[in-house]
A and B are shown apart, each in its own frame.
Chain A
């Protein structure tokens, strides 16, 4: 499957943020992370700042990919939901589209049924936004001209 680059413009980011916010309010989950299947965190809402959201995104994408591979070995196209139950917090991961997943972190204030129910709606809505985003021509602005030598100077200085 050919992979696509993702460009999130301001208006897309705002709409996605509203959808995540709506999802949290309805489902009672504490945090929502929108993650691309390569492991990049695309957007998040809730109190996720207290987590290492970058690491969680990478690990969740890997876990979801692993279960997808297991599904294929069993003759299923994919397991569309992944659920891990903890003593205080649990996670629910669901498919948004072929490139993206939605991870929800929740505790005893809600149930996995509620999270699953509203995650389905949220995933559909977000998938529509991402589809529009990908169909739109990429803005040329800052990316039109090639990088100069000065711009692509050493990113890191080796320690002496």
Chain B
């Protein structure tokens, strides 16, 4: 969960990119890493197999705006999407302040998207948390491929909780939608630290 340090006036957040294998989670972080100036980002670490599949996580620390005298920093993580790696997925999820669910827009990947979202909810339960408590957004990635499902259909299948969350169309490999997604989840995580959002979080913990 977030860390507020009054001594060095810093707030740290953890944002986790979740979703099925090959949906483009790592591509999001790679684009952010390529695009931000050095002053706003640290080193990107990828724990991947020889064929570039994430085996544990990718990690990218980035720093953003100063709010009320506090520097805000976000640690961006991806989880391994492959079904077999659920134990490590659950470990990476620990302490998340915000979630980006990266869905693969292709029709033939709809089943994997649904399974992964259900897996996310199950893993949050392990931490006595849920999607009702943690800010999250949906990203419909790979819109550039030839057979994407219509957004309305993806919304119907994936964004069907009582409170609908923001969603973004994206082509992470070329950067489309990447920063829109990051900006929104960052603002949502930030807002949860202030005012009513904070009171709600304190009650929940």
Contacts and interface: CB of A to CB of B under 8 A. Distances in A.
Interface stretch (B107-115, B154-162, B180-188): B180-188
B179 A158 contact: yes
Contacts of A147: 67, 187, 190-191, 194-195
Interface in A1-28: 1-10, 12-14
Contacts of A85: none
A37 B94 CA distance: 8
Contacts of A120: none
A52 B43 contact: yes
Contact of B195 (A54, A65, A146): A146
B40 A40 contact: no
Contacts of A37: 94-95
B175 interface: yes
B163 interface: no
Contacts of A7: 3-4, 6
Interface in A22-64: 36-40, 42, 52, 54-55, 58-59, 62
B42 interface: yes
A149 B139 CA distance: 23
Chain B interface size, under 10 / 10 to 19 / 20 to 34 / 35 or more? 35 or more
Contacts of B201: 5
Nearest to A14: B7
B72 A155 contact: yes
B17 interface: no
Interface stretch (B19-27, B53-61, B141-149): B53-61
Contact of B5 (A39, A42, A54, A146): A42
B5 A13 contact: yes
B95 A153 contact: no
Interface string B32-46: 000110001011010
Contact of A6 (B4, B40, B42, B72): B4
A115 B191 CA distance: 41
B42 A54 contact: yes
Contacts of A9: 6-7
A84 interface: no
Contacts of A144: 194-195
Given A36-B95, A55-B59, A2 B128 contact: yes
B65 A155 contact: yes
A81 to B, nearest CB: 19
Given A4-B1, A143-B195, A147-B191, 15 more contacts: A1-B128, A2-B127, A5-B202, A7-B3, A10-B6, A36-B95, A39-B14, A39-B77, A54-B42, A58-B75, A69-B87, A151-B68, A156-B62, A158-B180, A159-B35
16 contacts: A2-B128, A5-B1, A5-B4, A6-B4, A8-B5, A62-B91, A62-B92, A143-B193, A143-B198, A144-B194, A147-B67, A147-B187, A152-B187, A155-B65, A157-B179, A159-B179
Closest 6 CB pairs of A and B: A38-B95, A146-B195, A13-B7, A158-B179, A155-B64, A5-B1
